[in-house]
Amino acid sequence: MAKNHIVKSYDHELKNLKLKILEMGTACGHQLSEAVKSLKNRDQELTEKIIAEDAKVNALQHEVEQMTINLLAMRQPLAIDLRNVVANLKIASDLERIADYAANMARHVNELNSMPLSDSINIIFDMADQALGMLNDVLGAYQELNIEQAAHVWRLDSEINRGYEELIESLRTMMTEQTGKIRGATALLFIGRSCERIGDHIKNIAEHIHYIVTGNSDIRKSI
């Protein structure tokens, strides 16, 4: 358990960095859940809002970058502080990509037009729910620096991957049997791919948490 720094303003700056990452994580979760909602409701207005609000997450990432650069230059962090600052920079990058994929999902929703719901879309809903739960859990693990919880989230990514394989199989069948649905099926494939990539980035965040705590990013050693 780390003690407080002798220089209190250093603790304050590290705490602000953590709060900024959590703010970014919450914004990403919101973007992802809105993307799922837009998919369920085929809500074009909502998709445009999601695409526009991606810029807010980008701006948060820029703030995190500036804060980490200042910490590196002004505090010359070492040991856990150095790992923390470097990992936060990487976590911000993963969160920014998660928000990008949420915006990509919204972009492809518009391509679905009025295509009726198929079984395939339910696989996507399951994957997105799984990703949202994982994102929530990984942010909790980050807040508490809980490596057991981070390892738990890391393992869950394989379920999203399995869902993606199932989705591909389902869409292949659909495209073979109903060639008129190829355009919609392709859009679903891109949306599923976005969910799968979001899972990968959440997995990366779990590894960064493990690195902060242990100095080793190979989370498999803790599983």
Partner 1 sequence: MTEPQSLKPKLKPTADGRVSRDNRQTVGDQFIDNPRMTCRDVNVYYADKQAINNVSLDIGSNEVISMIGPSGCGKSTFLRCLNRMNDTIDTCRVTGEIKMDGHNIYSNEIDVVALRAQVGIVFQKPNPFPKSIYENIAYGPRIHGLVENKTEMDEIVETSIKRAGLWEEVKDRLDQPGTGLSGGQQQRLCIARTIAVGPEVILMDEPCSALDPIATAIIEDLIDELRQHFSIAIVTHSMQQASRVSQRTAYFHLGDLIEVGPTSRIFTSPRHELTEDYITGRFG
Q: Which residues of this protein are in contact with partner 1, per CB under 8 A?
A: 1-7, 10, 76-83, 147, 213-216
Q: How far is the CB of 149 from partner 1 (least distance, A)?
A: 13
Cβ 14 to partner 1, closest distance in Å?
A: 10
Instruction: Round to whole Å and give the CA distance between 186 and 45.
Output: 22
- Residue closer to partner 1 by CB (options 118, 146) is 146
Smaller CB separation from partner 1, 141 or 191: 141
| 93 versus 222: smaller Cβ distance to partner 1 | 222
Minimum Å gap between C-beta 222 and partner 1 is 9
Tokens of 132: 């949202």
Least Å distance, CB 215 to partner 1, is 3
Q: From residue 111, give the alpha-carbon distance in Å to each of 95, 105, 119, 136.
A: 25, 10, 18, 29
Cβ nearer to partner 1, comparing 7 with 59: 7
Q: Residues 131, 196, 88, 92: is their CA dihedral positive or negative?
A: negative
> Element (H or E) spanning 70, and its range?
helix 44-75
Are 106 and 51 in contact by the 8 Å Cβ rule? The answer is: yes
